[in-house]
Amino acid sequence: MDKSLLKINNLKASVTETEEKILNGLNLTIGKGETHAIMGPNGGGKSTLVNVIAGKDSYTVDSGEIKFEQEDLIEMPVDERAKKGIFMAFQYPSEIPGVRPWQFIKASVDAKRKFEGEKELSVREFSKKYDQNLEIVGINQDLMKRSLNEGFSGGEKKRNEVFQMLMLEPNLALLDETDSGLDVDALKSVGDVVNRMRNDDRSFLIVTHYQRLLEHIRPDHVHVLIKGKIVQSGGYELVKKIEDNGYESFE
Amino acid sequence: MEYFKHYQKNFNELLKSSDDVDFRKKNFEFFSKNGFPVKKKSDERWKYLDLRSLEKKLYSHDLSNYAEGLTLNDLGLEEKNTIKVINGVAEYSKIAGLDLMSSDSYKHVATYNEDEFISLNASMSYKPIYMSINSNFIGDKLNIVYYSNSDKDILECPRICLKVDSDIHLTLNEIFICSETVTLKLPVTELTLCKNSKVFHNLVFQSSFNENNFKFTRVDQQENSYYKFTSFSNSSLIAANDLKVSMNGENSECDLKGIYFTTKNSQFNTHVVVDHNVPNTKSNQYFKGILSDESRAVFSGKIYVERNAQKTYAEQKDLNLVMSKGAEIDTKPSLEIYADDVECSHGATAGHVDESTLYYMMSRGIDRKTATQMLVNGFASEIIDEISDENIKMFAKDQSDKILPKLTFEV
Nearest alpha-carbon partner for B399 in B259, B238, B237: B259
Where are the domains positioned within chain A? 4-250
- Predicted local confidence at residue B103, as pLDDT: 87
pLDDT the model gives residue B411: 54
Mutate one of A96, A105, A109 to test the B interface: name it (highest B CB count within 10 A). Answer: A96
Residues 6 or more apart in contact with residue A128 via CB below 8 angstroms: none
CB-nearest to A88 from B354, B363, B367 is: B363
Contact A157, A93 (CB under 8 A): yes
Using CA atoms, how far residue B344 sits from A118, B313, B339, B389, in Å, is 54, 6, 11, 30
A-chain residues near B376 (CB < 8 A): none
Residue B17 has a pLDDT of 86
Give the pLDDT confidence score for residue B69 in this predicted structure.
64
Give me the residues of A, 163-192, that contact B with CB < 8 A.
164, 168
Number of other CB atoms surrounding residue B192 within 10 Å:
23
Model confidence at B66, in pLDDT bands (50, 70, 90)?
Answer: low
What's the pLDDT tens digit per position in B258-268? Answer: 999 999 999 99
What is the average per-residue pLDDT within B155-165? Answer: 96
Rounded to a whole number of angstroms, the distance from the CA of B371 to the nearest CA of chain A is 9
Beta-carbon separation of A79 and B366 below 8 A: yes
CA distance A78 to chain B (A): 6
Is A88 an interface residue toward B (CB < 8 Å)? yes
Contact B363 A99 (CB under 8 A): no
pLDDT recorded at residue A2: 63
Average pLDDT over every residue of B160-189: 95
Nearest CA in chain A to B360: A94
Q: Which secondary structure element, helix H or strand E, spans residue B244, and what is its range?
A: strand B236-247
Minimal C-alpha gap between A229 and chain B (Å): 25
Secondary element (H or E) of residue B206: none
Q: Between B355, B375, B380, which is nearest A96 by CB?
A: B375
Helix (H) or strand (E) holding B300: strand B296-305
| pLDDT tens, position by position, B179-200 | 889 999 999 999 999 999 999 9
pLDDT band at B47 (very low <50, low <70, confident <90, very high): confident
Residue A226, min C-alpha distance to chain B (Å): 26
Partner residue facing A97 (CB), from B355, B365, B378: B378
Q: What is the DSSP string of A85-144?
A: TEEEE-SSPPPBTT--HHHHHHHHHHHHHHHTTPPPPPHHHHHHHHHHHHHHHT--GGGG
Q: Determine the Cα–Cα distance for residues B89 and B84; give it in Å rounded to an integer.
A: 8
pLDDT range class, residue B237, cuts 50, 70, 90: confident
Rounded to 5 degrees, what are φ and ψ at B279?
-70, 165
> Minimal Cα–Cα distance from A241 to chain B, Å?
34
**Across B221-226, average pLDDT:** 98
A82 to chain B: which residues are within 8 Å by CB? 362-365
When mean pLDDT is compared over B106-110, B222-226, B264-268, the highest value belongs to B222-226
Interface of B with A (CB under 8 A): 354-357, 359-368, 370-371, 374-375, 377-382, 385
Q: Where is pLDDT greater, at B208 or A81?
A: A81
- Whether A50 contacts A207, CB under 8 Å: yes
H-helix or E-strand spanning residue B120: helix B116-124
Which CATH class for the A4-250 domain?
alpha beta
b/e per residue B298-317 (b: at least 16 CB within 10 A): bbbbbbbbbeebebbebbbb
Nearest C-alpha of chain A: how many angstroms from B372?
A: 11
Q: Chain B residue closest to A100 (CA)? A: B378
Q: Cβ separation of B362 and A82 shorter than 8 Å?
A: yes
Mean pLDDT computed over B386-393: 95
Q: What is the mean pLDDT of residues B348-367?
A: 95
Reported as a single tens digit per residue, the pLDDT across B276-328 is 999 999 999 999 999 999 999 999 999 999 999 999 999 999 999 999 999 99
Contacts of A127 (CB under 8 A, 6+ apart): none
Task: Give me the residue from A56, A90, A147 closest to B378, CB to CB.
Answer: A147
- One-letter identity of residue A179: D
d(CA B280, CA B343): 11
Query: Do the chains contact at B374 and A57, CB–CB below 8 Å?
Result: no
CB contact under 8 A, B362 and A99: no
**pTM of structure:** 0.89
A104 in contact with B, Cβ within 8 Å: yes
Cα–Cα distance measured from residue A15 to residue A3, given in angstroms and rounded to the nearest whole number: 31
Chain B residues touching residue A98 (CB < 8 angstroms): 377-382, 385
Which residues sit opposite A175 in a β-bridge? A89, A206
> Strand runs (DSSP E) across B194-235, as ranges?
198-205, 208-221, 226-233
Q: Does A200 touch chain B (CB under 8 A)?
A: no
* Highest mean pLDDT pick, B171-180, B204-213, B280-289: B280-289
Q: Nearest CA to CA, how far is A247 from chain B (Å)?
A: 31
Look at A198 and B65; give whichever has higher pLDDT: A198
Subunit contact B365:A99, Cβ cutoff 8 A: no
What SS3 class is residue A247? coil
Given an 8 Å threshold on Cβ–Cβ distance, is A82 in contact with B365?
yes
Measured CA distances, B120 to B34, B110, B125, B240 (Å): 11, 12, 8, 15
Mean pLDDT, all residues of chain B: 92
More confident residue, A14 or B206: A14
List the single residue in B with minimal CA-CA distance to A116.
Answer: B365
- pLDDT score of B248: 98
Distance from C-alpha of B283 to C-alpha of B313, rounded to nearest angstrom: 6
Angstrom distances, CA of residue A223 to CA of A55, B156, B213: 21, 74, 66
Query: Chain A residue closest to B359 (CA)?
Result: A56
pLDDT averaged per 10 residues, chain A (length 251): 86 96 96 96 94 96 96 96 98 94 96 95 95 95 94 94 97 95 89 96 93 93 96 94 88 76
pLDDT at A1: 54
Residue B113 is classified by DSSP as T
* Spatial distance between the Cα atoms of B19 and B17, rounded to a whole number of angstroms: 7
Question: Which residue on chain B is closest to A88 by alpha carbon?
Answer: B363
Whether residue B299 contacts residue B332, with contact meaning beta carbons closer than 8 Å, is answered with yes
* pLDDT, greater one: B220 or B14: B220
Candidates A57, A93, A105; nearest CB to B360: A93
Contact A94 B378 (CB under 8 A): no
Taking the C-alpha atoms of residue B184 and residue B53, their distance in angstroms, rounded to an integer, is: 11
Name which of A73, A94, A163 to mutate to probe chain B: the one with the most chain B Cβ atoms within 10 A of its Cβ. A94
How many contiguous H segments (helices) and E segments (strands) does chain B have? 7, 21
Dist. CA A230–CA A44, nearest whole Å = 10
pLDDT above 70 as % of chain B? 98
